[in-house]
Amino acid sequence: MAQLYLTRKWIQNQQSEALLGATASNSIITLAPNYSRLGSTRSASLITSSDGHDVEDLEMLLEAYFMQLDGIRNKILSVREYIDDTEDYVNIQLDNQRNELIQLQLTLTIASFAIAVETLIAGVFGMNIPCHLYKIHGIFAPILGGTSAMCFLLFLLMLGYARWKKLLGS
């Protein structure tokens, strides 16, 4: 814990540099014995000067940092949860839109089938096949109306079946 008290450590480094500077100016020969003695006094001064008050200050400082880190961690977790919830909401909305498009496609497919049946019947009557219906005057309108009504009824029946099977929403 005493090594974590950085202000005191910095002051002691300044003091040791000042003592080394003073010793170096006296003589070069005495530098080596004083340097080893300074290292031992420095570590001894660190151990003896770390009383309970300094350690309590350091512990309080570390506790404050840990509380800030815990608060930041909690904020990050809540933002991550919010992002996950937003992603789930967007996926639900996309699924809903996809389902609506599928229902529209099914409705259009049923309508195109009914129109294709009517086109088939019109194509059969449009061929140059000898038929006694061609000789009846005014038969075109009833056949056209009957075919259209039958295809519209086919469309409604298929649409009702799709709703009965719950393929289309009401």
Q: What is the pLDDT of residues 9-27, one digit of tens each?
A: 788 888 888 888 766 665 4
pLDDT at 136: 83
Is 151 exposed, middle or buried (CB count within 10 Å of its CB: 0-12, 13-18, 19+)?
Answer: buried
Look at the pTM and tell me if it is higher than 0.75.
Answer: no
pLDDT, average across residues 34-56: 50
Indicate the pLDDT class of residue 133, thresholds 50, 70 and 90: confident
pLDDT, average across residues 142-154: 92
pLDDT, average across residues 115-120: 93
38 vs 158: CA distance, rounded Å: 99
Which tens digits make up the pLDDT trace of 60-107? 888 999 999 999 999 999 999 999 999 999 999 999 999 999 999 999
Contacts of 168 (CB under 8 A, 6+ apart): 103, 106, 107, 159, 162
107 vs 138: CA distance, rounded Å: 34
In the block, tokens 């420095």 appear at 42
Indicate the pLDDT class of residue 34, thresholds 50, 70 and 90: very low
pLDDT at 8: 75
CA angle 62, 44, 9 (to 5 degrees): 40
Q: Is the per-residue pLDDT at 39 higher than 60?
A: no
Highest-pLDDT range among 28-42, 127-141, 156-170:
156-170
- Centre a 10 Å sphere on the Cβ of residue 155 and count the other Cβ atoms it contains: 19
- Centre a 10 Å sphere on the Cβ of residue 114 and count the other Cβ atoms it contains: 21
